[in-house]
A and B are shown apart, each in its own frame.
Chain A
């Protein structure tokens, strides 16, 4: 029996910002349907890894495959050539991304934010896009906020709209970059609830987070990153409760205290 193609395969990826090495030879396989949490101290490279998966930045060497497709490059002979802008935009359609600072479009209402991509990228019909957007808003519990501007919503509501905006593009993979870090503590729960629902629906998710409780309960796998490397990974029960590496143990103790 052949192995199914993993959703994400990262092969020896290295990325530097000037003299600073953000990722050092990172390799990672993430199967279809996984809920992969990535934890680690700030500057450990976890957000960088997420931005590379959505090609918001380029890496220096190594390769990334999503559902078996090489990202960002076209092989020709022995060499890889950087892809054109349109090719990268097409590849990004497979991934949805949710940002720490929400990044909703402030000049558009919740509904307009969600239909923007379907209308102007996928060239869908407006009536269809609107109907789907309203269904998505209902799914994140914000149907009554469809005509509100981002400035009129709480952080938790904005982040739920941002999740709906990403889902409207019908991605195969969802990336979450510290989705609850910018929220007031009492608003974290509503966003995590939406993410839990999404995980239960079978969506493949990669989540950079500091919410160890959420990771313990919802993740299928937890990876701990430090200094640009994946130090340790495994089921949440093992990595979070019984870490093998001293650095993981120190980090978890520091977060919980």
Chain B
């Protein structure tokens, strides 16, 4: 039987507590229990309110897989993919133009970014959609000619609006990524006889991806939701499809819940994909994946 610890250094005298056998009991976090209880209570009220509210959940279930809604979903996904592809391609090209030693090239990129970041997206969309007002026809004289209203369908106008706008934002992200790669990497690539484009493609961009992927992942997720503004120019994505239905049956909230459910599903899938991609491009950089802030004890 050893003495009780007193919190004072006994200097190892006989009868001093045997610290080798004393375990440390973890600190209790009473505050966390209180916070958790309050949050659960608030959530309970929310669920109760929605359950008792005047929402016809049967209608939600009925329209969740309605044909018009599913077509809207496919259109949303197609638009997200196409607009993001256009945006990324433009972004890489603009970032490289921005860093060009040719002043005309870099100023052009700067000007583009200034225009597209400086005006609201919905305004750009309306501009493209109404382009026929200033250019009734489009074409190369003698080769082909078409009426602008036939070319500038809601799909094309939305694609141009979202894609060109996205390009301006992605350019900044790509530029930051390229600048994050150490100049010693370019030296090493040159030293083994690589040209500028091969160096960019094989050495610089794969390393820049580590910096580029997280923000671009966020922008893909934003893009899914941004496609909804195409409903103002009659592009039949999810929100537009939901609106078309509730104009007929007046079940406004139910159909908005249907649309919200589908957005959440698509975004969740994308988040899982983003996590996998980030792991892939973190190869060789020590950390295997980004983690939540760890909290010890």
Contacts and interface: CB of A to CB of B under 8 A. Distances in A.
Contacts of B284: 106-109, 149-151
A166 B184 contact: no
A24 interface: no
A56 B187 contact: yes
Max chain B CB contacts within 10 Å: which of A55, A89, A96, A107? A107
A184 interface: no
A108 B182 CA distance: 15
Given A120-B198, A151-B285, A90 B188 contact: no
A93 B187 contact: no
A15 interface: no
Nearest to A169: B192
B237 to A, nearest CB: 37
Interface size class of B (residues with CB under 8 A): 20 to 34
Contacts of A165: 192
Interface in A72-123: 85-86, 89-90, 92-93, 95-97, 99, 101, 103-109, 116-117, 120-122
Contacts of A121: 192-194, 198
Contact of A104 (B188, B196, B285): B188
Contact of B190 (A92, A105, A149, A150): A92
B185 interface: yes
Interface in B173-207: 182, 184-185, 187-196, 198, 202-203, 206-207
B198 A166 contact: no
Which applies to chain B's interface (DSSP): helix, strand, loop or mixed?
A: helix
A160 to B, nearest CB: 15
B286 interface: yes
A107 B189 CA distance: 13
19 contacts: A54-B190, A56-B187, A86-B195, A92-B190, A92-B192, A93-B193, A99-B184, A101-B184, A103-B182, A104-B188, A107-B284, A109-B284, A117-B192, A120-B198, A121-B192, A151-B285, A165-B192, A166-B191, A169-B192
Given A105-B203, A120-B202, 8 more contacts: A56-B187, A89-B190, A89-B193, A93-B193, A99-B187, A101-B184, A151-B285, A165-B192
Interface of B: 182, 184-185, 187-196, 198, 202-203, 206-207, 281, 283-286
